[in-house]
Structures are given as structure tokens and as C-alpha cells.
Structure 1
Amino acid sequence: MRIDIWSDIACPWCFIGKRRFERALVGFAHRDDVQVSWHSYQLDPDLPEHYDGAELDYLAGRKGMTPEQVRRMFDHIGGVAAGEGLRYDFGSLVVANSLRAHELVHLAAAHGLDGPVNEALLSAHFEHGEDIGSLEVLVRIGTAAGLDGSEVEQALADGRYRAAVQSDIRRAGSLGIQGVPFFVLDDKYGVSGAQPTEVFSETLEQVWREANPLVMVSPVAAEDDPACGPDGCVIPGRSAVPARAPQPAAARSARHSDRSIE
């Protein structure tokens, strides 16, 4: 099974959705047969490389919300994140364009490290107040995940993965994706948003069953097939033996009491 996930490093619900999806995947019996790929999406591609102001100021200006409304939103999202084991710190968050962070994820994907790099970027942004637009921070995150520092510097300097980022964004548009996180399973099923873990679990099971239907060796059950059903159990060559109905506990205890008196 292939799962493509569109996400933005600057999206708080994306980190929450990642946690919930991963919890569902851990409990999925066929998780070793699942291939997960991360794709880029930018909520605000026009954001300057570095924004001179706090996250509260940025969101209040961009969304036309009052500071108090933004604070309530922070409290709500922070509470949901805490329920997933995440410790968001909106007060220390550095507002920055996520483009180069996405380029780093694509470089990491070329080395099979996009999962841990994406995780580290989200944590750095939302939990540790680090600047995801800083070359120094990105090189440190990349090398900590196992990438070569010189390759990270060079790739971010020459923008070799910028076209791949833009390609992801265009593909999201062609699929009708207008928000993240967004999960696409086997190029057929879409799940929008940071859904509860149970929704991801049910979807994984459904997609797996449809892609791997049970094939019966004996399409039609014969009358002498050794099996049990509602009408009893079959003994080959003989008619079905009626299944014995279970007796209520009260009746069983009553009969046992009668015998003990005798």
C-alpha cells in the first residue's frame, strides 16, 4: 500500500495529524507493506524568508483576527497537541517561509530519510522555537538525521530541489487539495485533516481489504464440508448434528443444586 501525505512544516495540524496517523500505522497488521511518502505544501508561499514579528501578529494580520481570537486558537490547538504528546510553544515560534525546509525534506527523501527529517523540522518549529528558514538550523537538522552537512549546504544554496517542491504543490492542486494535512492512499482514497487515530485505522483496513480481497479455494460450500454453521456441525457422510444451545447460567446452577440435594 502506498500513502502520500501532503504537509507544511508551518502547519500545526500537520504535526498532530502525523502523530495520529503514525499511531494507527503502528497498530496496522500490514504496516511492513506500507510505503509512506511526504509531499510539500505551502500555506503561505508569499511569506518573506523571515517575518519581523511574532506568530500572533502574523496570524492576526493575515487572517483578520483579533489578538484574543488568535490566543484562543493557540490554546485550543496547543491542548489538542498536548493530547498527542506534543508540547507546542507558540510564544517562541519563529515565523519563516517553509520553502527551504521543504527542499531539505526532498533531499532527505533521496537518502530515505524524509520521515525523520520531517519530524525534526516540525518539532524544531513548534516545540523549540527554531528558525526553519535558517541555513544553519537546516544543516544541523539534516546532519543530525544522517545527511552530509556539505551536501545539505550545497543543495539548499543551488536550489536543486526547488522544482520538486513546486511539483508537489502543483500536484496537490490537480488533486483538489486545498488544505493540509492530506493523505492519499493508493492514489484512490483521500483523507483530509488531522483525523482521529480511529479514522486512520479504519481507512487502512478498508483500503487493504479492497486491494487484497480474500480468494476462496472452494467457491461453493459442499454439503459434506466439515464445518459448523447456524444449523449445526457437519460430519462428512452424515447429516448435520444440531449445535447444542448454551444453557443459561441460572438453569445450570439450579440443576447442579438438585443433584447435590439427592
Structure 2
Amino acid sequence: MTFGDNTARIEIWSDIACPWCYIGKRRFAAALSEFEHRDRVSVTWRSYQLAPDTPTGLRRPEIDALVEMKGMPADQVRQMFAHVAHVAAQDGLDIDFATVIAANTFDAHRLLHLAGERRDALLEALFRAHFVEGEVVDDRDTLVRIAASAGLDPETVRAGLDGDAAADAVRADLLEARTLGVTGVPFFVANRAVAVSGAQPKDVFLALLQRAVDDVDAAETAAADVTGAAGDGCAV
């Protein structure tokens, strides 16, 4: 891959309805904050939908939705929730599955594409709204309120959601995920060359960041070597 500068590019496919994405975001942020070359890292959040067929506005408890979708006994789902909540708590996240409402996340992903430089803050707010506060994140009034809390202009957000703004951008992310073979999230890709799947420990993300920067440096060195060798060619 050819790079125009010395920036390492990290793309992260995630879904607001994925608790492991919330945990993975927290762990990746911890790694990035410690990484000595963090000023050379560009992070882009990409859209993914684990359950794109979830009806909008149904307001079903997440446990009921998963029992139906996965065909699992309710007690087994509760045990799974308890395990995830325990892991999340170790990373400082207070997930309350008893209040989580199943939602179609397409509009939330559209909103993230409209958020510009506030995208990371908005994603954090959406995760918290869904997993901690029991908000309905496929309700547009709720999305406008969450966006405003993250520093976005509410009228601009509402106008975007009332139209078809950023829908193509979300679909492009979903298509790219299929092209890359993404079957689960979170999914972290460095320079479109190296990938890490899942809410990995911080040290794994630190290694990914170092590999990303090292690969950029190696590509720049190779390009410089080619330029330096060009003096043996013919010129007019």
C-alpha cells in the first residue's frame, strides 16, 4: 500500500448494539492513549449491523429479542449477559442488560457519519445510552437528544435523520465489511493489511498500533530507496 504521509490508518467496524464493541472501544482507547506514536494514528469508525432485520420502534427487551433470534433459553441468555457485564465492569463500564432495548441501529450509524469530528464522542454517548441508560436508540427524538449531548446541533441532526443523509455511507461500510470477510465485530484493520477481531486486551491493541506504524515506516523507506535509485535511468 502506498501512503501519502506517515500516518497509520486504523479502521474499526462496530455496532452500537454490540457490548463487546463497547468494551473493545474502551480497551483500544486505553492502548491508544499509551501509544508513544499516537499522533501518527488516524482512527476511522465504520458501520456494521449485527441484526439488520431488527424492527424499528418495537421496543422489545434485549433478552426477549435474543431468545427469539438465537433460539436460546432465557436463563442461558441471562448467564451470557452476566458474564459480559462482569467483563465490562473490569474495564469501568456499567452495562445494565436488564434495561437494554433491542433496536435497529441503521439510523444511529447514519448519525455517526454525520457527526464529523464529534464522531468518537457520539459513539461513546450512543453506547452509554444503549447499554447503561436503557435508551431506545432507534427513536429519532432520542437520537437527536443524544447527539446534542455530544455537541452536535440538534436541528441539523433532525434534518439529516428526517431525510436520507449518510445512508449510502452506511451501506458502503456494510459492503466493505462483506468484501473484507468481516463476520463479527469489533473488527480492527490497520492500513488495510493487518486485522484484529474482538475486544482484545490492551497489549494486543498496542502491538497492532506498533505494527501499523512500523509498516508505514517500512513503506516510506522502500519508496525512498526506489527514488534514490532513479538516477541511473535515462532523461531528456
TM bucket normalised to smaller? 0.7 to 0.9
Q: 1:28 aligns with which of 14, 17, 35?
A: 35
TM-score (norm 1): 0.79
CA distance in 2, matches of 1:124, 1:163: 25
Output the aligned Cα RMSD: 1.3
TM-score (norm 2): 0.87
Deviation, structure 1 residue 187 = 1.2
State whether structure 2 residue 99 is matched by structure 1 residue 92.
Answer: yes
Q: Check the 8 A contact 2:12/2:44 in 1, yes or no.
A: yes
Aligned length: 213
Q: 1:104 aligns with which of 111, 115, 124?
A: 111
- Choose between structure 1 and 2: higher helix proportion: 2
Matched to 2:206, the amino acid is: S
* Match in the other structure for 2:189: 184
Runs of 4+, deviation exceeding 6 Å: none
**Structure 1, gaps ≥5 residues long:** 216-262
Structure 2 residue matching 1:91: 3-state secondary structure: helix
* Match in the other structure for 1:18: 25
CA distance in 1, matches of 2:58, 2:48: 19
Deviation, structure 1 residue 126 = 0.3
CA distance in 2, matches of 1:20, 1:147: 25
* Match in the other structure for 2:199: 194
Structure 2 residue matching 1:22: 3-state secondary structure: helix
* Match in the other structure for 1:125: 130
* Match in the other structure for 1:238: none
Matched to 1:190, the amino acid is: A
* Match in the other structure for 1:159: 164
Deviation, structure 1 residue 204 = 1.2
Structure 2 residue matching 1:26: 3-state secondary structure: helix
Q: 1:211 aligns with which of 205, 216, 231?
A: 216
**Structure 2, gaps ≥5 residues long:** 1-7, 222-236
* Match in the other structure for 1:48: 55
Larger radius of gyration: 1
Identity %: 47
Deviation, structure 1 residue 208 = 1.6
Matched to 1:143, the amino acid is: A
CA distance in 1, matches of 2:44, 2:100: 27
Structure with the greater relative contact order (CA < 8 A, sep ≥ 6): 1 or 2? 2
